[in-house]
Structure 1
Amino acid sequence: DAVAAAAYAASILKRRETAMTYSNEYDTLVREGVHPSLLAQGHAAVARAEHTGTQTAISRLMSLADSAAADGAIGAEIDILMLVLRLGDPSVARRLVAVAQGSEGRTAEFALSVGLALAHKDADRLIELSDSAAKDGLELAAADCASHALRILESRGDKARQLEGQRLLKRRTAALDKAGPAVEGASPDLQKLTRREQEIATLVQSGSSNKDIALSLGLSLRTVEGHLYRMFAKLGISHREDLMNGAHGTQGLG
Structure 2
Amino acid sequence: MQKAVSSISSCRWDDLTARTWPYPHCVVVSRAREPDPTIVMQARQACGLATDAPLTSRQLAEGMLRLLLAPLCQQDASALCFARNPYGKPFLPQHPAIQFNLSHTRSAFAFAFARYSQVGVDVESCQGQADRKRAVAKRFFHPDEIRWLESLDDVQFLSAFTRLWSRKEAYIKALGMGLHKPLESFSCLADHQGALQVRDSGCVIACKLSEEWIEGEPAVALSCCLLPDASTDADAWRLLLLQDETPQNNRTDYKVS
Query: Fold conserved (TM > 0.5)?
Result: no
Quick check: which one's strand share is greater? 2
TM range (shorter): under 0.3
Greater relative contact order (CA < 8 Å, ≥ 6 in sequence):
2
TM-score normalised over the length of structure 1: 0.27
